[in-house]
Amino acid sequence: MKLNANAPRWIHWRRNLARCARPPLSRNTTLNARWRNIIAASALPPLVLYDNVPGGAGLVSRLENETMLRACLETARQRVSGACGCGDDTSCYGCLRSFRNQFAHQYLQRRPVFQYLEFILSIWQQKDFA
């Protein structure tokens, strides 16, 4: 799977993973995410999750638990699965859009986020059964 972290459709995806992953942790969180710069354009961009408050709120430490991390990724995948009814190349308030990211609504596409999560979870399943 070829992904480019600098492509416009990926610009705000990192925040949307954090937004999608919130329900297993709590309703309102300060979880945020950033891409880590990579050199290889074909490599899967690493994503760094962090608490967005000084000293942290303990949310990222909860994601050290493999079961919780997987639940967050699966919740995020479900949120962008298409059940909301929007098109693959767009987004809505049911999947990716929020008041905080309204400046980026034109770039937010549900399909690339879903594909990224599918890829991560498929690797995870292969690891489980290897």
Supply the pLDDT for residue 42. Answer: 53
Residues with Cβ within 8 Å of 11's Cβ and at least 6 positions away in sequence, in order, are 104, 107
Tell which residue, 115, 107, 123, 122, has the closest CA to residue 82: 115
Residues with Cβ within 8 Å of 130's Cβ and at least 6 positions away in sequence, in order, are none
Supply the pLDDT for residue 16. Answer: 57
* 3-state SS, one letter per residue, for 56-73: CCCHHHHCCCHHHHHHHH
Instruction: Report percent pLDDT > 90 for the chain.
Output: 11
Q: Which residues of the chain have pLDDT under 70?
A: 1-47, 50, 52-58, 127-130
CA 124 to CA 128: how far, in whole Å? 6
Supply the pLDDT for residue 112. Answer: 85
